[in-house]
Chains A and B, each alone.
Chain A
């Protein structure tokens, strides 16, 4: 039987072939030059964003009965307040008009008012966004670098002891729930288990009102455990993706050519094999960002990090529907925008794309 190549790892552990969006390669051959490629990608992004808007609207119409009752359920709310919320959701209007109103508002940057904080959702989001970007950005850079470094080495010596150890560890960490790992790290390294004193803060982003360098160091101190947790649960995916992409290149003829030219082994790897494996790897690293978003939500929740993920958790437990809806849109849009950005950069990684 002939399975599609490279299905070594499935959804839990995506493989290069399994998840690779074919669009990258397909449009690479279409011709028309870079401008046309960019236009195509941007159009795709607009359609995707619109789809997110549609989804986030209709998801919240799945609520059985009255969304306002659902949200305020069991609490004492005055009839006046109920009416205000009804008006905001536009429940008295027909469905299509609710939808167009929602889209129009979203386009002007109005995502409604938080039920819980009595503040515009957009304000809550812009407030928390930098903190999330700090945490996610740091973790993303670290886990991508670590995963690609170890994945390259594993593939180059595949089947060896190092490969088996790294793959095994990556799979194990990948199977660990991020929130559980976070809790354990807090117990061991923050609260402290008998001989070990608490080394790191249990949560939050700052402990005091320090300024200047002291503040930077304080934030960095708070950043360590959340970042370690995220990197630990996410790097395995990058490792396996890189490994599988490089394994796909291993038997290639151009590597024999490179070796026949008299290049040293590490030059064959760095100069010839890795650049060819980079495109599928980077594609998947960005496709998998969606998983990282989920990881960020959990890690921020566990470490009380004042970011979007922590906010999302607070909104869920109420449930503060406008805030949940707004955050869902922001998470999905962020992932789509990052993927589009990556799409636009691919021609620099691989000359075959976008020509």
Chain B
């Protein structure tokens, strides 16, 4: 962690400081992976994620982009599963397996982007509030606490309602409502880092605010941010599904939440068309769970609890 902050003297003729830092970082990554592998749930989550990402990335090859076309749908409306359509068809006669595969792209993409936005805001507020202290920090933390208590998904729903229906809106609505937890964690970590002696030294040597935040605090906060991102992706995917289910998603793309909304509108609940209802929900749950498991494993590696306690 302190790879580039403990100023180890460099032997003349040896590797330069950058090479040294790189080597240390590689070593710590290897150590991280070794620790991570010990968490079975985390490994399971990671495997599930790799599988889903592969399915999503190869979707254009396996199912093709015309899978959501209503006009030249291949089957009859609401067919039960068969050899030709393993998961049956929807009310327009579209292949549900294809739609499911295609929908994974939107769910993953929106989840990733929304989480990235959320963590970006959270990290920015957290680091600055931890670094600058004073009234700025007070105000920022008040706002954070307020957001923390707010029903943020309701806020996201309202945002998605008043803005135009698009994926960008969904990303924005989720991103700007889920950052407070990250802000809190990052601020706490920033305070911890800045209380270390080498920050004092960096200040004495004339390091400015930007230098301290970007070169000293940020590298120390990154692992935490990584774990946070993983966990937020999970809730972002759930939030995306919820918005789509409420009819607030982009109507022109297929997503898992949207499929569930279509299923409900097609009356598959009362007619018991399980093949229409069950797979998208499993998709959402498995991906959300996988991200949660990964995030927890990363956190457990970064912050191991003592196995023995009295």
Which residues of A are at the interface with B, using a C-beta cutoff of 8 A?
Answer: 1-5, 7-14, 17-19, 21, 23, 48, 51-52, 55-56, 59-60, 62-64, 70, 159, 168, 171-172, 174-177, 179-181, 183-184, 186-187, 191-193, 202, 247, 250-251, 255-256, 259, 287, 289-291, 293-294, 297-298, 301, 312-313, 316-317, 319, 321, 324, 328, 331-332, 335-336, 339
Contacts and interface: CB of A to CB of B under 8 A. Distances in A.
Contacts, number: 219
Interface of B: 1-2, 41, 145-146, 148-155, 157-159, 161-164, 178, 181-182, 184-185, 188-189, 192, 220, 223-224, 227-228, 230-232, 234-235, 238, 241-242, 245-248, 257, 260, 263-264, 269-272, 274, 277-278, 280-281, 284-286, 288-289, 291-293, 295-296, 299-300, 302-303, 305-307, 309-310
B189 A175 contact: no
Contacts of B185: 4, 7, 10, 18
A179 B146 contact: no
A296 B281 CA distance: 18
B18 to A, nearest CB: 21
Given A4-B192, A12-B234, A171 B227 contact: no
A12 B235 contact: yes
A62 B247 contact: no
Contacts of A294: 151-154, 157, 242
A172 B246 contact: no
B181 A11 contact: yes
Contacts of A291: 151, 153
Contacts of B281: 176-177, 180-181, 183-184
A171 B189 CA distance: 26
A264 B159 CA distance: 54
Contacts of B291: 12
Contact of A171 (B228, B289, B309): B289
Counting from the closest, the 8 A-B pairs by CB-CB distance are A10-B231, A180-B281, A294-B153, A290-B151, A1-B1, A175-B289, A175-B288, A11-B181
Given A10-B181, A13-B231, A172-B285, A191 B272 contact: yes
